[in-house]
Amino acid sequence: MMSNKNDSIELSTHTRRDVVRAGAGMLTASAVLAMSGVASAQNRAAAAPATSPVGSPADAPAVDPRTRYAQPPFPKQEQEAPGLTSKMDPRPDHGEQSYRGSGKLMGRKALITGGDSGIGKAAAIAFAREGADVAINYLPVEESDAVEVVALIRAAGRKAIAIPGDLRDEAFCKRLVTEAVQQLGGLDILVNNAGKQHAVEKLEDITTEQFDSTFKVNVYAPFWITREALKHLKPGASIINTASVVAYIALPFLVDYSQTKSCNISFTKTLAVQLAPRGIRVNAIAPGPIWTPLQPSGGMLQEKIPTFGADSPFGRPGQPAELASSFVLLASGDSTYTSGEVLSVTGGLAIS
């Protein structure tokens, strides 16, 4: 267990000499795994060919996006929400073996909700390899996923803070920000990424409890967390919200979830204008179908899991690693004139 009596723990920064020096946090998979103590089963990142790194040098060969990663059909698989990475087949790629940093976020301090798995894990790995210290939030039942992310952040030579807790609780959201700020020593980047998605075919079958819970995680928590974070964010800070393609493209079995993702976009656009005079940027990323625990744990109708992503123009789902550079772009000084933007990473699905 990583939790202590304060429900959080600081995992001390690796000394720089522990880090491979050729590029900020550029580590081989085996070095990361050896340093992190992650079990050898992690080596089978079935979806990720080792020969096609994200953020690869300019002279790397061009990569065909259609065949880069595993294509449907996928094995049938079902797990309970919120789902664990270790139970997925094939294993998603979060850039463990491939993401190479170049100091774009050196010394920055980031909080990522849902940082234990999927898209948040890919952002956490990339931020750390770009030089940021990272705090992640997740549900206590996701501890085993969180341990691996913490190890990967540490392997990049950065401070990792793990703060488990349920974002449906306003008091916890407030404490999350306070603890992250205290333990990181400030806050520059906030990523509101945690999400609840439960597919239900008929509106009549969506319970009030589900509706409420989905809105609490996806809409209330970003509001509560951002409101608290604004006490600490300074000019140059960046807020990134994870929205979704379903705010634009209707999936009939995601009525409640899609509403929350539209909320994420309105929140982004209005807040971007409100916070511009304070020098704080606010943007959103709208992913298409991405291979994460969210989907086999009830986010997608089970009968659609074998063909997940088949309808996208590239004929496959995206992998979390394919979103990492977008989060880094919006967090970094490379996008100082970008605010109120919704960046789509959809495999070609048009969102407007």
Query: Which residues pair with residue 163 across a beta bridge?
Result: 137
Q: Is residue 257 among the annotated active site residues?
A: yes
Residue 266 or 336: the one with the smaller Cβ distance to ligand NAD is 266
Residue 157 or 287: the one with the smaller Cβ distance to ligand NAD is 287
Residue 166 or 311: the one with the smaller Cβ distance to ligand NAD is 166
Contact residues for ligand NAD (CB under 6 A)?
82-83, 114, 116-120, 138-139, 142, 166-168, 193-197, 217, 242, 244, 287, 289-290, 292-295
Selecting among 99, 248, 257, 337, the annotated active-site residue is: 257
Q: Is the peptide bond before 82 cis (omega within 30 degrees of 0)?
A: yes
Helices 255-275 and 221-229 pack at an angle, to 10 degrees, of 20
Distance CA 29, CA 151 (A): 12
Q: Is the peptide bond before 65 cis (omega within 30 degrees of 0)?
A: no
Distance CA 198, CA 186 (A): 35
Instruction: Select from ligand NAD, Mg ion, none the partner in contact with residue 167, using the beta carbon and a kind-dependent cut-off of 5 to 8 Å.
Output: ligand NAD
Neighbours of 69 (CB within 10 A): 23
Residue 117 or 339: the one with the smaller Cβ distance to Mg ion is 117
User: Does residue 116 interact with Mg ion by CB under 5 A?
Assistant: yes
Distance CA 328, CA 340 (A): 16
- Which x/- pattern over 64-103 shows residues binding Mg ion (rule: CB under 5 A)? ----------------------------------------
Spatial neighbors of 227 by CB under 8 A, at least 6 apart, are none
Instruction: Select from Mg ion, ligand NAD, none the partner in contact with residue 283, using the beta carbon and a kind-dependent cut-off of 5 to 8 Å.
Output: none
CB of 293 to Mg ion, least distance (A): 5
Q: Single out the residue of 229, 136, 223 nearest to residue 186, CA to CA.
A: 229
CB 148 within 8 A of CB 36: yes
Task: Single out the segment in contact with Mg ion by CB under 5 A; choices: 116-124, 170-178, 216-224, 269-277.
Answer: 116-124
| Residues binding Mg ion (CB under 5 A) | 116-117, 142
Q: Just list the catalytic residues.
A: 257
